[in-house]
Amino acid sequence: MSAASAPAQTPVIGWDLGGVHVKAALVCGGRVETVVQAPCRLWRGLPALDETFAQLPDWARAPADHVVTMTGELTDCFSDRADGVAQLAGWAAAHLKGSVRIYGGRAGLLAPEYARTAAADIASANWHATAALVGRHHAHALLVDIGSTTADLIPVVGGTPAASGYSDAERLETGELVYTGVVRSHLIALCDHAPFRGRRTRLMAETFATMADVYRITGDLPDDADQQQSADGKGKSLAESEIRLARIIGRDHGEGDPADWRALAAHFAEAQLRPLHDAAALLLSRSDLPADAPLVICGAGRFVAERLATRLGRPAVALTDLIADRLPATGADWASTCGPAVAVALLVR
């Protein structure tokens, strides 16, 4: 059969089913055509996933070779992670048209009906997919994927993921999972005091503001990165973010000026960077990671990862630069934000 008459390859769609976002990447002929992220209130139950799915672009509901990774199994609507893995895999099998495989990390690709028995391999294995993709381009690196809620720091050694931990619990112990992100993290989780106009003030132990407010004030937050409701349910203007930030130190907005609020926001940005620096420094001290191993960065918080690389004296390489020849002319930022969805789709071809 001639090349001109050869049938088109079946599109591949990579999925990352999370507890607050659904991410999907369409790959045709080995190239990423488009990527989408949509908010999902999965903590309300699987019907929330149906609502999000109905709002996705038409291509997400078309027949394809679907490859699914997930983090939503830890959402509190499920009795435990095994239940969450089984229900999410079952949802994918019932709703995605075409073939459906579940990414099991170290266990490979699995049929949805085997999800419950392989739950320990499947649960929150999206980091493994991104690290495996990095390993195809860099033999040795530290993947730093900083998202809206968490940060994954994964050593890549000899072209393969080389994390010391695997489950969330294990990676929390090893520093390969740092539970902080650039949108949803609460400020009180980062420190218990802050400087304000020459005085040290304790913080109110309330969820008055999030890191999305901080990075809006510093001007770092990428467009559309914050798809969640604000802490007070109000808008996301600069002034409204400053109001929320002021409350965390018991102040009203009028008690400071824009420079005060920028300085306070910078304090919280630094407080978030410190534990990331400590975790990365520990991982980079491993004997199997050479001194010139770069940080490969991605995620909605890639701007934080860039600062981390500078702080560590390491080169920063964007994940999207590694796969630039497989990305569309526009939309690379979304491919970075949705790295695991892109990775599972590219890994199968």
pLDDT digits (tens, 9 = 90+) for 57-74: 999 999 999 999 999 999
Whether the pLDDT of residue 40 is over 60: the answer is: yes
| C-alpha span between 342 and 330 (Å, rounded) | 15
Which pLDDT tens digit goes with each residue over 132-141? 999 999 999 9
Whether the pLDDT of residue 31 is over 50: the answer is: yes
pLDDT, residue 332, reads 84
* Entry pTM: 0.94
pLDDT, residue 2, reads 30
Whether the pLDDT of residue 5 is over 80: the answer is: no
Ramachandran quadrant class, 131 (left: phi over 0; alpha: psi -120 to 50; beta: rest): alpha
- The band of 295, judged by pLDDT with boundaries at 50, 70 and 90, is very high
pLDDT, residue 330, reads 82
pLDDT, residue 8, reads 57
pLDDT, residue 133, reads 98
Average pLDDT, the chain: 95
DSSP 33: E
Helices (H), the chain: 46-55, 81-95, 119-122, 126-135, 168-174, 211-218, 238-247, 258-284, 302-312, 319-322, 332-337, 339-347
Q: What is the largest CA-CA distance in the chain?
A: 77
Q: Which residue has the tokens 């739950």?
A: 119
Which pLDDT tens digit goes with each residue over 181-240? 999 999 999 999 999 999 999 999 999 999 999 999 999 998 789 999 999 999 999 999
Which pLDDT tens digit goes with each residue over 155-190? 999 999 999 999 999 999 999 999 999 999 999 999
